[in-house]
Amino acid sequence: MNEPIPVSRAVDGGTAKLMPDLDRPHAWLLTVDGAPQSYVDLDDPGHLEFEYARRIAHVLDVAAAPGAPLDVLHLGGGALTLPRYLAATRPGSHQVVVEADRGLLELVAEHLPLPSGTGITVSARDARTALEAAPEGSADVIVADVFGGSRVPAHLTSVEYARAAARALRPGGWYTANLADGAPFTFLRSQLATYRTAFAHLALIAEPSVLRGRRFGNAVL
């Protein structure tokens, strides 16, 4: 049996690499310009290697009764880790994944193809454009995981963007986003203030070392 071979390719956002996990036979780490982006185990989509992905998965787990299908809009695709997770844990869900990097989508489709019948539709579009075009009240959950380098693009941080997200959700729907910051948390504080203009209830989840300002890291809104 041949060992899996790393793949490197220039994509719209830089140099993407798919590196096999030698401890898990069909698992891969996706990086872009050296920054980890996604981890996928093709044999076990329920395995979530990244802590922030597990946090978002917790939100998906409690968004409806166990196993009930959801309508989900994913802003940012990467290697489709969370869409694969949701397809496995909530069969019959309808998911739309929006990813602006066409080269990245092609790389993932070629080397980490989706199984048939997942209910996942992938679209090469800008996240803000896709969100504003989404029908009102069309999503049970919106998952936002969009980064340019280590930061969320500015056009996805405004009051207008937050209100577009609220408009696209059904009553009782959930918006969840992967954010990143470090002490003194200028960005996180500004995002909390921004989302208070559109949502009545907010929660921020992160590892204690991040919230205590000991290191830069991910926080799930």
**Which whole number is the average pLDDT over 137-147?**
97
Residue 1 has pLDDT above 70, yes or no: no
pLDDT score recorded for residue 90:
98
Residue 82 has pLDDT above 70, yes or no: yes
For residue 128, give the H/E element and its range: helix 127-133
Domains of the chain: 7-220 (3.40.50.150)
**Which whole number is the average pLDDT over 205-219?**
93
Mean pLDDT, the chain, rounded, equals 95
Q: Is 186 exposed, middle or buried (0-12, 13-18, 19+ CB in 10 A)?
A: exposed
Full DSSP string of 9-21: EEETTEEEEEEE-
Residue 2 has pLDDT above 80, yes or no: no
**Which whole number is the average pLDDT over 42-54?**
97
The residue type found at 51 is E
- To the question of pTM greater than 0.85 for the whole model, the response is yes
